Amino acid sequence: MISFITEKQSCWERLKAEKRPIFIYGMGDGALKIMKVFKQMNITLSGIFASDDFVRGHSFEGYRVHKLSEIEEAVNDFVVVLAFAAGYQEIVDKIHAIAAKHTLYVPDVPVIGGGLFTYDYCVENQEKIAEVYAELADDYSRKVYANIINFKISGKIECSLRIDSKKQAAAELNLNKELANQVIQSLQWIKVQAGEGEINLTDVLRYPGVVGEDWMVGRLSGAFEGLGYEFFLDSASAARVCDPNDERVDLLTNLVNEELGTSLEPYAMGGATHARWIPGALGFGPGRQRDQVLPAGVGSGHEVNEAVNIEHLKQAILIYLRAILALDKQ
């Protein structure tokens, strides 16, 4: 078997052998999937807890949702199973603090489909795993890859802590800084023109309708070719350009401002909505500034705890109804 896979026992096997009470930290889809595996493997679940801000005397799947402090007062020693993704540093620090006091596992469950990432799975796919490992360019990348696999098998949080990217990446990753700077400058210019702010290197490149695809490819190609690299476009989705003088834009903007008592200006979002596939369609939605009720980093779009103000939803429904009726008269 592959030598860098050192974790042979899955977190599920360890949990099944546990004699201490087991509590799931978190609710939602992740918790449901973990509970399903618990049921399949006859693992006893003692209860569920959530971050204090999310505990309001409610229940989840028949279990009353507790605060961690309540469980610590009632139970001497117990095991914690994390059931959500930590998307910001504050919650990461909180998880590390819990792991310092209690045995904590972070099980790997599939986003879609079935099956579990176990040592047996790695044995069955060892040729593919080894092939990817061999293609990695440096020791740092191979170390990260190995730790991810061991982490997915064991659910041990310490596996994810073995890589300190802040300290090691600068020393061990071989980056062409000149190339990186030129590419970033080119992408930055495009994003500034689109009004999207500072560049994030994990973004899919977006560009405004006033900049053509050929122009963008030409600019990026120049940056790469000047350093001896080749740039090619893998795929592109044509920009959906909306005429700001379209009378429907004025109609919808005025309707929104009348309903909300605001003076908002229309804007085009940078993502690809279904509107681009419908001839003459407009992308129209309740883009509202989020309330400052939730802590920083909680409730953002596309996160597991994405949230929206209920009053904003009610207003959006009313605006949609008025918009449909107004457009229907045109």
pLDDT at position 228 is: 66
Q: What is the rounded average pLDDT of the residues 216-237? A: 69
Predicted confidence (pLDDT) per residue in 126-135, tens digit: 898 998 888 8
Amino acid occupying residue 196: E
pLDDT at position 10 is: 93
Predicted confidence (pLDDT) per residue in 263-307, tens digit: 777 776 655 566 666 777 777 876 666 555 666 666 766 666 777
Please tell me the number of Cα atoms within 13 Å of 183 on its side-chain side.
16
Predicted confidence (pLDDT) per residue in 174-206, tens digit: 444 555 555 556 655 555 555 555 544 444 455
**Cα 6 from Cα 152, distance rounded (Å):** 12
DSSP string, 78-114: -EEEE-S---SHHHHHHHHHHHHHSEEE-----SSS-
pTM above 0.75, yes or no: no
63-67 β-sheet, strand order: 59-60, 63-67, 47-50, 22-25, 79-82, 103-105
| Helical spans, DSSP H, in 227-309 | 247-260
Q: What is the rounded average pLDDT of the residues 75-95? A: 84
The count of other CB atoms within 10 Å of the CB of residue 129 is 20
- Which single residue is written with the structure tokens 């429904």? 317
Ranges 9-18, 154-163, 186-195, 236-245: which has the least confidence: 186-195
Cα radius of gyration rounded to whole Å, the chain: 25
- Structure-block tokens of residue 78: 């117990």
